[in-house]
């Protein structure tokens, strides 16, 4: 596979961009080799600068749930371009977007648009602290809520992919206000809250965790968090940046039947454009400036072109619920094939799966939290990643990431991916 143009671009990039990338996980540090520079994408395929084609199982880390360059979204953006790109003033599209989100997401009565998932999570924590007058938050080991200081404690995704679940530059004061518990460990949460009476503003969680690889909440875990929060006056925040509009029209909270006080959103909400949002009960959201004392602002918040893309994809998802059945079918077919592969090869690797999200872990132990995810054979995962790439299948370049499927995947694509995975697992062999 010729990748000389990508290599040349990477060499140039490293002179002018830290690590040659604008987001660490893209650098392939965890899987070896050099990153591919993508020129274009269409449907289920990515095309790199050397003309190689790849079946895409990341889909921009979630947003491209309908596949790349979907006509509905492309047309909406084209139609918006001639009206200027940004005004910095309120627009009709923002009202329509807020009404649409409130109609789809159970916990949302009011919503504030921002420009990334990180910004949504930063803002919602400030709101929780302002609303409760409390300072501490509880997050879970291996969960990732963007790169805000409060969250870079035992963080997942790129932070652990780099082998540094914490980050330089985060002050002791900030770290002291972030308490962490193992995912799925309700007793640990109860103990943390009891040890910090009247001090915990919020518990923030990925209701289905995607940033240590995919880890599902155990039966009763989310409901248990809801009860702790109700009893202790702690706000429950679901970070649905990954799961929102993917696992159901109303996200994980709709699919799993537990309603948080506040929700963060991103990725699919912008259809590939830079959009994030946080929302919840009117009473809480009215603590946000200019109504309330919690300040938060953004030059490009509710950007009209991004709102056009977001309105197009969310309207499509709301008006064609068949998309969710299709995503379930694709997920079941692909994971069924991969499960058969590991059985036939006698590997018994763990596959965690829900809807159109899944992870193949290079361990035969159950993966229910960060510790068990970290027991995976990372070197073997790196070899598997490269073997799949050679076969034209683009996985997340880290064991600690979920994969994301799109409706652009056909049965033939799925069959190809299953076969490529069988060959790749066989090729990388034992440890």
Residues of this chain that interact with ligand KE4 (CB under 6 A) are 23, 25, 61, 116-118, 121, 144-146, 157-158, 206, 210-211, 239, 241-242, 266, 276, 401
Contact 249, 317 (CB under 8 A): yes
Which residue among the candidates 45, 131, 144, 324 is catalytic per the annotation?
A: 144
Q: State which residue, 241 or 334, has the beta carbon closest to ligand KE4.
A: 241
- What is the closest distance, in whole angstroms, from the C-beta atom of residue 251 to ligand KE4 in the complex? 11
- What is the closest distance, in whole angstroms, from the C-beta atom of residue 62 to ligand KE4 in the complex? 7
> Distance between CA atoms of 13 and 74, rounded to whole angstroms?
28
Q: State which residue, 27 or 393, has the beta carbon closest to ligand KE4.
A: 27
- What is the closest distance, in whole angstroms, from the C-beta atom of residue 255 to ligand KE4 in the complex? 16
- What is the closest distance, in whole angstroms, from the C-beta atom of residue 167 to ligand KE4 in the complex? 13
Residue 75 designated active-site = no
Least Cα distance to 271 among 302, 308, 313 occurs for 313
> Distance between CA atoms of 387 and 428, rounded to whole angstroms?
8
Q: State which residue, 110 or 246, has the beta carbon closest to ligand KE4.
A: 246
- What is the closest distance, in whole angstroms, from the C-beta atom of residue 161 to ligand KE4 in the complex? 9
Residue 267 designated active-site = yes
- What is the closest distance, in whole angstroms, from the C-beta atom of residue 66 to ligand KE4 in the complex? 19
Which residue among the candidates 110, 136, 267, 374 is catalytic per the annotation?
A: 267
Q: State which residue, 94 or 401, has the beta carbon closest to ligand KE4.
A: 401
The whole-angstrom distance between residue 101's C-alpha and the CA centroid of its chain comes to: 18
CB half-sphere exposure, 76, CA atoms < 13 A: 22
- What is the closest distance, in whole angstroms, from the C-beta atom of residue 148 to ligand KE4 in the complex? 9
Put the strands of the sheet holding 403-404 in their side by side order: 350-354, 357-361, 403-404
Which residue among the candidates 239, 278, 384, 394 is catalytic per the annotation?
A: 239
- At residue 239, φ and ψ (nearest 5 deg) are -85, 100
Contact 279, 288 (CB under 8 A): no
Q: State which residue, 121 or 388, has the beta carbon closest to ligand KE4.
A: 121
- What is the closest distance, in whole angstroms, from the C-beta atom of residue 105 to ligand KE4 in the complex? 15
Q: State which residue, 121 or 192, has the beta carbon closest to ligand KE4.
A: 121
Q: State which residue, 341 or 376, has the beta carbon closest to ligand KE4.
A: 376
> Distance between CA atoms of 133 and 136, rounded to whole angstroms?
10
Q: State which residue, 140 or 144, has the beta carbon closest to ligand KE4.
A: 144
Structure tokens at 257: 């039947």
Residue 131 designated active-site = no
Residue 271 zone, left/alpha/beta (φ > 0; ψ -120 to 50; rest): left
Task: Name the closest residue to ligand KE4 (Cβ).
Answer: 117
Structure-token match 């143009």, residue found? 5
Which residues are within 8 A (CB) of 5 and not within 5 positions of it... i.e. 6 or more apart? 37, 48, 49, 50
CB half-sphere exposure, 113, CA atoms < 13 A: 28
DSSP per residue, 151-211: G-SS--THHHHTT-SS-TT--HHHHHTEEEE-TT-HHHHHHHHHHSTTTEEEEEE-SSB-B
Q: Is the dihedral of CA 7, 377, 341, 184 positive or negative?
A: negative
> Distance between CA atoms of 266 and 239, rounded to whole angstroms?
9
Which residues are within 8 A (CB) of 315 and not within 5 positions of it... i.e. 6 or more apart? 100
Which residues are within 8 A (CB) of 197 and not within 5 positions of it... i.e. 6 or more apart? none
Q: Which residues are catalytic?
A: 144, 239, 267
């Amino acid at each position: 596979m010729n990748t000389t143009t990508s290599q040349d671009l990477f060499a140039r990039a490293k002179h002018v961009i830290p690590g040659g990338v604008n987001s660490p996980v893209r650098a392939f540090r965890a899987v070896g080799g050099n990153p591919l520079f993508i020129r274009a994408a269409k449907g289920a395929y990515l095309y790199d600068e050397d003309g190689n084609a790849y079946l895409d199982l990341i889909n921009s880390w979630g947003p491209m749930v309908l596949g790349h360059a979907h006509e509905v979204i492309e047309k909406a953006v084209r139609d918006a371009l001639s009206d200027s790109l940004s005004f910095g003033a309120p627009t009709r599209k923002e009202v329509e977007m807020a009404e649409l989100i409130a109609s789809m997401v159970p916990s949302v009565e009011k919503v504030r648009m921002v420009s990334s998932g990180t910004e949504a999570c930063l803002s919602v924590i400030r709101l929780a602290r302002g609303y409760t007058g409390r300072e501490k938050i509880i997050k879970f080991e291996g969960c990732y809520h963007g790169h805000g200081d409060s969250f870079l404690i035992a963080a997942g995704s790129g932070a652990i992919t780099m082998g540094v679940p914490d980050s330089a530059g985060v002050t002791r004061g900030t770290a002291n206000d972030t308490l962490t518990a193992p995912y799925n460990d309700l007793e640990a949460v109860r103990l943390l809250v009891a040890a910090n009476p009247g001090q915990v503003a919020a518990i923030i969680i990925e209701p289905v965790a995607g940033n240590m690889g995919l880890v599902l909440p155990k039966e009763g875990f989310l409901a248990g968090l809801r009860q702790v929060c109700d009893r202790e006056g702690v706000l429950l925040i679901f970070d649905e940046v990954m799961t929102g509009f993917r696992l159901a029209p109303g996200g994980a909270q709709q699919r799993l039947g537990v309603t948080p006080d506040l929700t963060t959103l991103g990725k699919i909400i912008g259809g590939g454009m830079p959009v994030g949002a946080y929302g919840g009960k009117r009473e809480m959201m009215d603590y946000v400036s200019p109504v309330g004392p919690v300040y938060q602002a953004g030059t490009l918040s509710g950007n009209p072109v991004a709102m056009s893309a977001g309105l197009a994809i969310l309207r499509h998802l709301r008006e064609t619920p068949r998309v969710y059945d299709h995503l379930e079918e694709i997920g079941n077919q692909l994971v069924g094939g991969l499960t058969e592969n590991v059985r036939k090869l006698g590997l018994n690797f763990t596959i965690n799966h829900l809807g159109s999200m899944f992870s193949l872990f290079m361990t035969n132990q159950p993966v229910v939290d960060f510790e068990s995810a970290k027991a995976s054979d990372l070197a073997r995962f790196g070899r598997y990643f490269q073997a799949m790439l050679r076969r034209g299948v683009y996985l997340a370049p880290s064991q600690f990431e979920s994969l994301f499927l799109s409706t652009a995947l056909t049965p033939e694509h799925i069959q190809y991916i299953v076969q490529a995975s069988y060959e790749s697992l066989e090729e990388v062999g034992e440890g």
